Amino acid sequence: MHRLRTCATRLRPITASQTAQSQQRPAAHNRTLQPSRRFTSPVAAEPFLNGTSSNYVEEMYFAWLENPKSVHKSWDIFFRNANAGAPPGAAHMSPPPLGTSLASLTQAQSLVGAQPNVEKLVEDHLAVQSLIRAYQIRGHHVAQLDPLGIMDADLDSSIPSDIITSSDKLGFYGLDESDLDKVFRLPTTTFIGGDESALPLREIIRRLEMAYCQNIGVEFMFINDLDQCQWIRQKFEKPGIMHFTLEEKRTLLARMIRSTRFEEFLQKKWSAEKRFGLEGCESLIPALKTVIDKSSEKGVEEVIMGMPHRGRLNVLANVIRKELEQIFCQFDSKLEAADEGSGDVKYHLGMYHRRINRVTDRNITLSLVANPSHLEAVNPVVQGKTKADQFYCGDNDGNRVMSILMHGDAAFAGQGIVYETFHLSDLPSYSTHGTVHIIVNNQIGFTTDPRMSRSSPYPSDVARVVNAPIFHVNADDPEAVMYVCNVAAEWRATFHKDVVVDLVCYRRYGHNEMDEPMFTQPLMYKQIKKQKGVMQKYGERLIAEGSVTRQEYEEEIAKYDKICEEAHARSKDEKILHIKHWLDSPWPGFFTLDGQPKSMSCPSTGLSEEELTHIGQVASSVPVDDFTIHGGLSRILKGRGEMIRNRTVDWALGEYMAFGSLLKEGIHVRLSGQDVERGTFSHRHHVLHDQNVDKRICIPMNHIDANQAPYTVCNSSLSEYGVLGFELGFAMASPNALVLWEAQFGDFHNTAQCIIDQFICPGQAKWVRQNGIVLLLPHGMEGMGPEHSSARPERFLQMCNDDPDLFPKITDDFAVHQLHNCNWIVVNCSTPGNYFHVLRRQILMPFRKPLIVFTPKSLLRHPEAKSNFDEMISGTHFQRVIPDAGPAAQNPEGVKRMIFCTGKVYYELTKERKTREMEDSVAIIRMEQLSPFPFDLVKSETEKYPNADLVWCQEEHKNQGYYDYVKPRIRTTIDRVKPVWYAGRDPAAAPATGNKKTHLSELNRFLNTAFNLEAFKEHE
Ligand SMILES: Cc1ncc(C[n+]2csc(CCOP(=O)(O)OP(=O)(O)O)c2C)c(N)n1
Ligand SMILES: [Mg+2]
């Protein structure tokens, strides 16, 4: 309706003869054109000049303005009537429905002169335009997508009423069989005419069917961009567009042969092994290769892929070109692993390979990212790695590096991470400038029918949220598959946006080869048993059309079978599995040739006084001219300046010093997460906003040194699973970057639990791949209630691999060795200086480990939580344990109690100790690094105070926090000669009380216990 009015008003002002009165008429009357035909379908209920046809009418109108003879006479009359002041509802009148009064008919006739057929002509043209549009929107619903011919890919067997499947359906448009041979002018929103601007209706319908209702179903009309829609239309509508050269057909057949015979070879040799075969979707291999060939032709040099189990071995063999013997030897159970790693090769390990693309003769690097069995979890990781590779090679538009993601139909529809990843696709700091998605849509998920596993018509509907075009294709038509894959790659190269290829196929066997599919899908599998394989069908088709001879076809098969046999023979010689050959992201130059760290020491993480001062000055200034910052921020920067002059730092400055110095040393720093630019707690302010100029920003961190590495700080979408996965992928690409993800509050990390459990914690053990990602998790009991209190230290600590019962051998380089052997590092720093050191250590260490940091909230502004430059200058280090430095340490023999603690509670403890005047009798020792556990330092501390009992104090509840982790380790350290008493909150289900008063009384209670030297006497 809105479009109609716009169109009608546009028609009017151009008319010179128009009267003022007629210009005002639209407001006075309801001038909407009413359709006089009545249909039941909602589409038909649209008015005559709806959004669909107004383009066409406008086009006609402008042509008529230039030359009234250039348009059909009917349009000439229509526009003359409109310009003469006929209201839009009357300039053209449709033939009246039955029962309309003669009077209205007479009125209509008087407006158009004595040419009643003209109205029919106009109406018929509009009807044809609607019909064309109906095919563009809904043609895919009737496309022949299912190779088995039993399912409807959209889960709906009904045929849209505006798609012409028989001539009686023409009535929907007010047309009939007699109109089929009439010639109609084609609107500019279609390309079916080729060089013709008009076609007979019969031919129009035929061409629409060819374009939209064969083995390809194109879903794109939801895209809001006209150019993009036009681009797709011309790719599918132009007559004869799906033409392949002989060479292309033969290559396609050869690829189909490799894909098919590879699976058959495995089936023959290892019939009792699970391999999640690709049978039923062998087209995946030529599909992928087509996307890669076309992208390589367009300039892409690196493709990063992520995929699930199905067809993985085939992709490794035939797309990435992993040596076949390396794959076959995985089936040998006697194989030994030469290096660490759980040998989780076949379905999970990644791969990296650089080779020449034979079609384009250009170099191409292909990698497949290692993935857990958690379906779709790898998606954001692939995107992050792709973004990093683009970033490091200065590929700002994704012209050189791209990603391809493969999916199963059930997982794509069911897993929320798919949606989260799509939502990163167009964000400046997360976009990889278009991903090609390929769904292996075998119309089943394990044993579940799609009608029970998704509520959307297609598995691909989630992609519509980002306006990605979706090409459904019958995977038993290899040429159609190749065609859409070419278009998908071209789409990405042209628009740098995501695109989906939905390969509608079937699964010849069960979920794996051991599984009986007939239990649950009897009819489907009866049909599958009858189904001829796609290689055979395509081979026969090419033989029939004379593109290959039968002999050539058979020779090609024999050739590949021989390659497999020979590789199999060679694979028997492989005795040792080098998991390191299965790395998706090698870090050249970072390790020795045997993959070991180049040293086993970590230099000082301190900085010179000048560097500290310089970075501090940048942090407290606005390094660009004419930039107005907020008054509140001016005060903050002034305060920072003051601190720097006093040689001190607070939390934000400590972080600044770490980031700034690493940047200066050429290390890229990337901080990502929700609202990280300012900081959730408004303490960071890494991005300054000009208060007078919209969107003008300044990032002082990028003004530290002329030769510094760039700093990326980016507010993320409101996602944890997606964004953490992305940053993990980013960190995977290079060891020379500090990549940090900050949770808004630490408790939100559990939304990304899958990334933590499946990738971060065990990544190195499973996939021999190190990763130095940093998680910043705001944590602490501030009386704010159960939400936002706990980052769940207990969970991270429970997953640490250090043995609680074994006291390790203490050597000079114990601390580095321990770091080298751990699966991740968990710290809770109590000072900005120590936070600064631990961040710098992350990069100065000769290897990479994930770092989990419980970060404070109230300490961000705590007057005592400051560090002096002396704690940060050259020669200083991260302190794993901060011993007591007060009166207790001066006279350790007299100390009655040692309190071990970590993080913020330290400040509550020291305050209480002071109030109680117990500084001589109680030593408070901070454990800054919880894991790997500082056995050596805990030992020396406990030995220092021989007469003291030993308490672990935490503000968290007893079943949470650190107690369960530290207690057995402290006991092991002291040979179990003393108990480790507990002072803290009682066990609880929720992480914190919601009542401020209860919070404080709990605090008082446990501080009481901590300082009551008699508290544990009765238990002794
Ligand atoms: C997150 C997650 N949940 C459940 C599973 C168990 N699972 C493995 S395969 C599978 C079915 C997958 O179906 P689909 O995505 O259609 O892939 P297909 O096996 O059909 O190729 C399921 C449920 C899993 N691997 N990951
Ligand atoms: Mg499936």
**Distance of CA 760 from the midpoint of ligand 2 (Å):** 28
Q: Is 795 in the pocket of ligand 1 (CB under 6 A)?
A: no
Q: Contact, 295 vs 366, CB < 8 A? A: no
* Intra-chain end-to-end CA distance of the chain, in Å: 85
Q: Is 374 in the pocket of ligand 1 (CB under 6 A)?
A: yes
Q: Which stretches in the chain have pLDDT values below 70?
A: 1-58, 82-116, 333-346, 575-577, 580, 1020
CA angle in degrees (0–180, nearest 5) for 933-934-935: 95
The pLDDT value recorded for residue 565 is 96
**Distance of CA 659 from the midpoint of ligand 2 (Å):** 45
The pLDDT value recorded for residue 290 is 98
Q: Is 446 in the pocket of ligand 1 (CB under 6 A)?
A: yes
Q: Is 410 in the pocket of ligand 1 (CB under 6 A)?
A: yes
Radius of gyration of the chain (CA): 35
Bridge partners, 473 (sequence order)? 216, 503
Q: Contact, 370 vs 350, CB < 8 A? A: yes
Q: Contact, 236 vs 212, CB < 8 A? A: yes
Which atom, in ligand 1's list, is nearest to the CA of 409? 16
Atom 26 of ligand 1, nearest CA residue: 374
Tokens of 929: 């690094």
**Distance of CA 512 from the midpoint of ligand 1 (Å):** 11
Question: What 3-state class would DSSP assign to 632?
Answer: helix
* Structure confidence by residue, pLDDT tens digits, 241-264: 999 999 999 999 999 999 999 999
Rounded to whole angstroms, the Cα distance separating 762 from 342 reads 10
Count other C-beta atoms under 10 Å from residue 160's C-beta.
18
The pLDDT value recorded for residue 273 is 83
Classify each residue of 381-404 as buried b or exposed e, where b means 16 or more C-beta atoms within 10 Å of its C-beta: bbbbbbbbbbbeeebeebbbbbbb
* Top mutation candidate among 283, 309, 446, 449 for ligand 1, by most atoms within 8 Å of CB: 446
The pLDDT value recorded for residue 57 is 67
Element (H, E) at 263: helix 246-269
Q: Is the peptide bond before 597 cis (omega within 30 degrees of 0)?
A: no
pTM: 0.89
- DSSP annotation of 29 reads S
The pLDDT value recorded for residue 358 is 87
The backbone torsions φ and ψ at residue 755, rounded to the nearest 5 degrees and listed phi first, read -70, -40
Nearest to residue 296, comparing CAs of 366, 238, 231, 247? 366
* Structure confidence by residue, pLDDT tens digits, 498-513: 999 999 999 999 888 8
* Top mutation candidate among 373, 375, 509 for ligand 1, by most atoms within 8 Å of CB: 375
Tokens of 588: 């050249």
**Distance of CA 541 from the midpoint of ligand 2 (Å):** 28
The pLDDT value recorded for residue 593 is 82
Distances (CA, A) of 430 to 121, 123, 544, 715, 730: 52, 49, 49, 10, 10
The pLDDT value recorded for residue 582 is 76
Q: Contact, 979 vs 950, CB < 8 A? A: yes
Q: Contact, 853 vs 791, CB < 8 A? A: no
The pLDDT value recorded for residue 335 is 67
Q: Is 449 in the pocket of ligand 1 (CB under 6 A)?
A: no
Q: Is 187 in the pocket of ligand 1 (CB under 6 A)?
A: no
The backbone torsions φ and ψ at residue 741, rounded to the nearest 5 degrees and listed phi first, read -120, 130
Tokens of 599: 């040293």
Strand order in the sheet with 774-778: 711-715, 668-673, 737-742, 774-778, 851-855, 825-827, 929-931
Rounded to whole angstroms, the Cα distance separating 515 from 528 reads 15
Give a three-class secondary structure readout of 875-933: CCCCCCEECCCCHHHHCHHHCCEEEEECCCHHHHHHHHHHHCCCCCCEEEEEECEEECC
Atom 21 of ligand 1, nearest CA residue: 408
